[in-house]
Each structure stands twice: as C-alpha cells, then as structure tokens.
Amino acid sequence: MSELDPIALTQELIRRPSVTPADEGAMDIVQRTLEGLGFACKRMRFGEIENLYARYGTARPNLCFAGHTDVVPVGDAQAWSREAFAAEIVDGMLIGRGSVDMKSAVAAFAAAAGKAIAAGQVKGSLSFLITGDEEGVATHGTKMVVEALKAQGEILDHCIVGEPSSAETFGDMIKIGRRGSINTWITVDGRQGHVAYPHRAANPIPVLIDLLAKLQNHVLDEGYTGFQPSNLEVTTVDVANGATNVIPAQAKARLNIRFNPSHKGAELAAWIEAEAAKAAEGFGGTIKVEPVVSGEAFLTEPGAFTDVVAAAVQDVSGAAPELSTTG
C-alpha cells in the first residue's frame, strides 16, 4: 500500500465547493480514501446532509477522528488572491476555502490512520465521523450521527476533533472543552404603512431594536471555572425595505449565544422567548422566536487521554500545548 499524501488529498477536497449544505462529492472522496485503507464505511444521510461513519477494526477502545467537509461561503470572490476552490500552492502555502477549517485535518487524519494501519499499531479500533453539516445550523450532522450510533450500540471511547485550535503558533493549544451554542431567529410582524400616517401602521423595527438591546445588555454570567463568560452577539438584522417612506411590515434578526456550563440551551431559549413575549405586549403585531441549540457546553477533564494527545503534539511542535476551553 502506497503512503497517502495528505496535501494531495486536501487539494482534492478543496476543489469540491462543498458550501453547506452542498456536498459536491467531497464525502465520496473521503469514503473512497478510507475504504482503500480497509475501513468499513457507512453513509448516513439526514435531510439534505451527507454524513459518514467509518471504522477499522471491531475491538475496543475505539478512537474516533471527528470532522467535517462542509465550508462557509467564499464571500467576495474578488478579494481572494487565488480562486477559492483552486487549491493552489503559492510560496509554500496552500490557498483555498477549507484549507484550514478543516479539509486539511480530515486529510491528515486519513494519512495518520494509514500509517498506523501499515505499521500494525492499531490495537483497538480507529473510526471516522465526518459530517457535511458543521458550518450551518448543524442539526443534521454530528448530533444525529451520534444518536444513530448509540441506537446501534456503537461506542466511541475517545474522540479527537481536528478543528484548528492554535492561537499564536502551530500546536500551542488543545481545546478540552467548549462553550455551548444556540442560534435564534426573531421575526417581528407588524403592519405596513406610510411614514406620514404612522397611526395606521405597526412598525416592527423599534420593537425589534428594543428587544435586541435588552437581550444584548443582559449579563448572562461572570464566567465559570475554566470557561469564559457567556456571550450574546446579534449577527443579522434585516427589514427588506428599499423605500424611505414606507414603514415595513416585518423585521428580522438572528443572534447567537455562546454559553458556559452555567446554562443549558433550553433555559436560554426559554429566556429569549419570555423577553419576546414581554416585548410583544401592547404592540399591534406578533413576535416569533425560533431557537436552535447546536450543542451544550462540555469539558473533558485533564487526564491520561489529554496527556497522550499533548505529548504527541509536543513531539511534533517541540513545545508543550496549553489546555483550553476558549471559543
């Protein structure tokens, strides 16, 4: 078996414009690669999302590499120094959407697995959990795959996620925990009218602004042991109104809360809904709240597993990494 080239595999993956929820054949490449190494692969499609679970061996412990093949949109294509999906190498740098987050990590995982298998170093099992729904709402990806695996009695004893986590230099940080995340869409429906006759309309914009300000100014907490304080950010505000003399019928906003273990996603969703209900009082319209919890806060306590990972990183980088929960 020839040794797998992680750079060539990364380039092949980058050349698939897999902007969530599109896959564009990226998962096929990963599956073909892993099957070539001897992995038993199982595709799991939820909604329009492609997911893959692959396992080499049946014994325990089962060490799982988790990652994703989807990427965020390119944005302004003209702002790129090279075409975003060309995967060109310029002055020793691989340029392309997904080159860092995280097609390179998926390729590196595969190459490392290939070396371990060829050397006969796999004592338990190696597995891959790769999703096409990480950059989006993330409701049809890892969460649903894990639930399906649990139902089948499949156990993941340890898991390494290859998301880029370095702060200043390569390998300087290992994330052993992460704050939870809840995305919420807020839609305020009022009544359209002319600015000269506001009494005939119900302007949704001031209501939305006041609600967002109240949510933004609320101190969720002062932090939690080992974690940053919880934080709310408004990410989108839209009224879809191009006229200067029209009171719009609708105003929308989207926000995200990154929360530490002081909170649960359902608790924060209930808080937002309660504040929205208060904001709707006396307003001649309605407020709709749509919260989606993509993950709860978690922490992997330092121990034997983190020691092994830290030692492996130091062996490559030459410096001891910091264990962190930032982000």
Tokens encoding 23: 């896959």
By C-alpha distance, which of 185, 38, 206, 1 is closest to 122? 38
By C-alpha distance, which of 128, 123, 118 is closest to 162? 128
Helices (H), 201-299: 204-217, 265-280
Length of the chain: 327
Q: How many helices and strands in the chain, by DSSP H and E?
A: 7, 17
Active-site residue identified among 12, 101, 133, 134: 134
What lies within 8 Å, CB to CB, of 317 at 6+ separation is 169, 170, 171, 172
323 CB-contact burial (10 Å; exposed 0-12 / middle 13-18 / buried 19+): middle
Q: Locate tokens 């750079």: which residue?
A: 7
Active-site residue identified among 70, 101, 133, 275: 70
Report phi then psi at 174, rounded to 5.
Answer: -120, 125
CA 198 centroid distance within chain: 43
Q: What is the rounded CA–CA span in Å between residue 283 and residue 210?
A: 12
Instruction: Clarify whether 70 is annotated catalytic.
Output: yes
Instruction: Clarify whether 281 is annotated catalytic.
Output: no
The residues assigned a catalytic role are 70, 134
